[in-house]
């Protein structure tokens, strides 16, 4: 009986043997993916549940309230939302040109002998724990800013109104600078990698038309890598938005809307880390709400980056790079 | 400096010295480019050597030979594309008119606007529109005036036989074109700069037969406008499009060398060197 059945079905039997591990493999991957999805949903739902009391007692307007004063039951998040966006904006404005310039230099201009050493340095900087950056910012940079950088900027750019108030060292500006230093390695490392893979034929096409080295870089290589550069920008912005400890150490932690770059301020993450230990009830729930708002800002930045990629029609270039 | 001026070669310079190695029948008309003892090596390893011939104005000169014979390497020496490769070195002399291509005062970017190039695979700039691709070379060379750019875009696209199919969608991406159209866009892009010589490196190798035929026809039309040097591994193509042929072959030491140079008709019907005869008859390569 068995032999009769086994003989004609031998080829398909072998096929089934091959198919079985494949099925297992797919099943395992499916389970892992499901677990991950479940984790993400659980995480999101938990935050929403924890934040709900704040919404049910305060409505929705507390999110844009200007005053954070838990003893008077005021939990306005606007100062922290603005502090987060402002410190991130300072960081991005400083880090994007410097990071892109460094990436171009590393990819094309630096002699190949010193290139590995410089690249390793950049990657090491990305691995430094943020608390170390915070410590360095507080102990080394803050006095420097108070004595030299802020007085200088005030004398040169004081007319803009951005540098009103006393020189404190700690504050929004220092937080932005520390964040810039922290996201630079990310900007540089990813931008360099995507610049390097712009096809040689594109570079040669421009060269053959009489383009100078700088024209090749500006008109062909950087535009060709823009999808990847936008990716670097998104990752770096995401890190700056969420960075907690280093910012909390140098921003001054004042729950007010900053009226100057030298003002002390606070961000959503620094608010959470400074208060979670002693918060209960509505305040704790409001901290979860702050986390939720941070999440939304992160999603918006991501969506913006995707829209930029899409609207500049970089898909073709991206596909080209992806090959 | 004295060295450079003393070796200013022209058509009248005797070519019999090389005759021991290569059989050369120099063109009689006006000469645009002169190659003398050109050799290219990478990291000390010679890829092609001892190439001497003249490129006649208004003609199509084909570089033919099997893979590894150094055709492309030689072609890229003519507009200094090897400059980007650190290990590459070019010896001998290449002249464009009176300009010493490898002279110490020669600006490679300026040279490349006089010697254009079309590559094996169509390489329009993916981030630019058809129009921007067509005028990209002019922009690299500092032309900003819109009327000049418009004029150049139209005339070069007409010359590349692409105008009629793209005139209504100049703002579309270069990548929306078919492979053959992309290659013609690359030809238009090169023509817009009005080079004296156009180098074509197996321009049809990535194209289908119909697109290939159109490019070949285009080469025939373009030679009234620009001198062409074309690399091809396809002997039928060389026969169809070229006036003069340089046949290269890989020597025993893996370096390409010039075997024979002369009018295409002669090279294919009655070649002097037996190796040329073997190649054109399809006995190897």
Q: Break chain A into its structural domains and give their ranges.
A: 83-266
The pLDDT of residue B173 is 87
Phi, psi of B197 (to 5 degrees): -130, 140
Instruction: State pLDDT tens for residues A156-189.
Output: 998 888 898 888 899 999 999 999 999 999 999 9
Closest partner residue to B126 (CB to CB) among A207, A212, A224 is A224
pLDDT (tens place) for every residue of chain B, 285 residues total: 334 444 444 444 444 444 456 788 888 889 999 999 999 999 989 999 989 999 999 999 999 999 889 999 999 999 999 998 889 999 999 999 999 999 999 999 999 999 999 999 999 998 899 999 999 999 999 999 999 999 999 999 999 999 999 999 999 988 889 999 999 999 999 999 999 999 999 999 989 999 999 999 999 999 889 999 999 988 899 999 999 999 999 988 889 999 999 999 999 999 999 999 989 888 765
Closest residue on chain B to A211 (Cα): B140
> Chain-wide mean pLDDT for chain A?
87
Chain B residues with CB inside 8 Å of A313's CB? 127, 173
Q: B106, B125, B137, B231: which to substitute to probe chain A, counting the most A Cβ within 10 Å?
A: B125
DSSP state of A167: -
Say yes or no to pLDDT of A145 above 90: yes
pLDDT the model gives residue B12: 44
- Which of B258, B215, B52, B214 minimizes the C-alpha distance to B120? B215
Q: What would the mean pLDDT of A9-27 be, rounded to a whole number?
A: 66
pLDDT tens digits, A48-100: 999 999 988 888 888 889 999 988 888 999 999 999 999 999 999 999 999 99
Residues of chain B contacting A209 with CB distance shorter than 8 Å: 112-113, 116, 136-137, 140-141, 189-190, 193
Contacts of B193 in chain A (CB under 8 A): 209-210
**How far is the alpha carbon of B224 from chain A, nearest alpha carbon, in Å?**
21
Residue A313's pLDDT is: 58
Which regions of A45-101 does DSSP assign to beta strands (E)? 68-69, 74-75
Q: Does A317 touch chain B (CB under 8 A)?
A: yes
User: How does residue A226 score in pLDDT terms, banded at 50, 70 and 90?
Assistant: confident
Q: Cα separation of A277 and A266, whole Å? A: 17
Distance CA B270, CA B285 (A): 19
Q: Would you call B97 helix, strand, or coil by DSSP?
A: coil
pLDDT over threshold 50, residue A203? yes
Burial B149-181 (b: 16+ CB within 10 A, else e): beebbbbbbebbbbbeebeeebeebbbebeebb
Sorting pLDDT into bands at 50, 70 and 90, what band is A2?
very low
Burial class (CB in 10 A: 0-12, 13-18, 19+), B226: buried
| pLDDT (mean) for A245-264 | 92
Mean pLDDT of A122-149: 93
What local confidence, expressed as pLDDT, does residue A22 receive?
83
Q: Which residue has the higher pLDDT, A15 or B37?
A: B37
Residue A16: band (very low, low, confident or very high) from pLDDT cuts 50, 70, 90:
low
- Residue carrying structure tokens 């770096």: A236
* A132-171 burial: b if 16+ Cβ within 10 Å, else e: ebbebbbeebbeebbeebbeebbeeeeeeeebeeebbbbb
**What pLDDT score was predicted for residue A240?**
93
- Asked if A220 has any chain B CB less than 8 Å from its own CB, the reply is yes
How far apart are alpha carbons A63 and A45 in whole angstroms?
A: 19
In whole angstroms, how far apart are CA A54 and each of A44, A75, A188? 16, 9, 41
Task: Please name the member of B126, B136, B193 whose beta carbon is closest to the beta carbon of A316.
Answer: B126
Fold of the CATH domain A83-266 = MetI-like fold (1.10.3720)
Provide the token pair at A29.
Answer: 């991957």
Chain B CB contacts of A199 under 8 Å are 123
Q: Which of residues 184 through 213 in chain A touch B, CB cutoff 8 A? A: 199, 201-212
Closest chain A C-alpha to B112 CA, distance in angstroms: 5
Q: What is the mean pLDDT of residues A296-302?
A: 92
Percent of chain A with pLDDT over 70: 90
Tokens of B216: 């070949």
Cβ contact B79:B272 at 8 Å: no
Hey, are the CB atoms on B141 and A207 less than 8 Å from each other?
no
Length reported for chain A: 323
- pLDDT tens-digit series, residues B97-134: 999 999 999 999 999 999 999 999 999 998 899 999 99
Bridge partner list, B244: B61, B263
């Amino acid at each position: 009986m068995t032999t009769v059945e086994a003989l004609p079905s031998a080829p398909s039997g072998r096929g089934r043997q091959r198919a079985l591990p494949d099925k297992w493999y797919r099943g395992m991957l499916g389970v892992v993916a499901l677990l991950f999805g479940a984790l993400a949903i659980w995480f999101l739902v938990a935050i929403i549940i924890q934040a709900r009391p704040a919404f049910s007692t305060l409505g929705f307007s507390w999110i844009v309230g200007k005053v954070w004063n838990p003893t008077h039951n005021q939990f306005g998040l606007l100062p922290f939302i603005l502090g987060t966006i402002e410190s991130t904006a300072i960081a991005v404005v400083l880090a994007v040109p410097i990071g892109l310039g460094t990436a171009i230099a590393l990819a094309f201009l630096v002699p190949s002998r010193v290139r590995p050493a410089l690249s390793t340095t950049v990657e090491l900087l990305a691995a430094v724990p943020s608390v170390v950056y915070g410590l360095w910012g507080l102990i080394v940079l803050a006095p420097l800013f108070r004595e030299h950088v802020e007085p200088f900027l005030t004398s040169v750019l004081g007319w803009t109104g951005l540098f009103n108030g006393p020189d404190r060292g700690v504050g929004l500006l220092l937080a932005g600078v520390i964040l810039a230093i922290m996201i630079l390695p990310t900007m540089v490392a990813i931008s360099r990698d995507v610049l390097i893979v712009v096809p040689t034929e594109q570079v040669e096409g421009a060269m053959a038309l009489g383009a100078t080295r700088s024209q090749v870089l500006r008109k062909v290589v950087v535009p060709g890598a823009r999808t990847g550069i936008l990716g670097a920008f998104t990752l770096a912005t995401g890190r700056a938005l969420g960075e907690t400890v280093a910012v909390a150490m140098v921003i001054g932690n004042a729950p007010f809307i900053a009226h100057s770059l030298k003002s002390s301020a606070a961000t959503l993450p620094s608010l959470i880390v400074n208060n979670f230990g002693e918060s209960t009830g509505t305040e704790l729930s409001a901290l979860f709400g702050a986390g939720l708002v941070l999440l939304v800002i992160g999603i918006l930045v991501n969506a913006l980056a995707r829209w930029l990629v899409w609207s500049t029609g970089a898909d073709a270039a991206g596909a080209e790079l992806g090959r | 400096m004295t060295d450079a001026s003393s070796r200013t070669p022209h058509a009248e310079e005797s070519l019999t010295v090389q005759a021991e190695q290569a059989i050369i029948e120099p063109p009689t008309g006006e000469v645009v480019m002169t190659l003398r003892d050109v050799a290219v090596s990478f990291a000390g390893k010679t890829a092609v050597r001892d190439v001497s011939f003249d490129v006649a104005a208004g003609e199509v000169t084909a570089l033919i030979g099997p893979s590894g014979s150094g055709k492309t390497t030689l072609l890229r020496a003519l507009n200094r594309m090897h400059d980007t490769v650190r290990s590459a070195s070019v010896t001998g002399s290449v002249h464009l008119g009176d300009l010493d291509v490898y002279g110490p005062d020669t600006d490679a970017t300026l040279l490349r606007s006089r010697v254009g190039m079309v590559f094996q695979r169509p390489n329009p700039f993916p981030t630019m529109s058809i129009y921007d691709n067509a005028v990209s070379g002019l922009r690299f060379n500092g032309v900003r005036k819109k009327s000049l750019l418009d004029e150049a875009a139209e005339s070069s696209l007409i010359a590349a036989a692409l105008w009629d199919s793209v005139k209504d969608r100049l703002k579309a991406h270069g990548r929306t074109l078919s492979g053959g159209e992309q290659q013609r866009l690359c030809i238009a892009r090169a023509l817009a700069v009005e080079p004296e010589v156009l180098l074509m490196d197996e321009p049809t190798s990535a194209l289908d037969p119909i697109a290939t035929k159109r490019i070949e026809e285009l080469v025939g039309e373009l030679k009234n406008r620009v001198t062409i040097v074309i690399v091809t591994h396809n002997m039928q193509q060389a026969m169809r499009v070229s006036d003069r042929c340089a046949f290269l072959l890989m020597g025993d030491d893996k370096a390409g060398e010039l075997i024979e140079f002369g009018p295409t008709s002669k090279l294919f019907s009655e070649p002097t060197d037996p190796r040329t005869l073997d190649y054109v008859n399809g006995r190897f390569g």
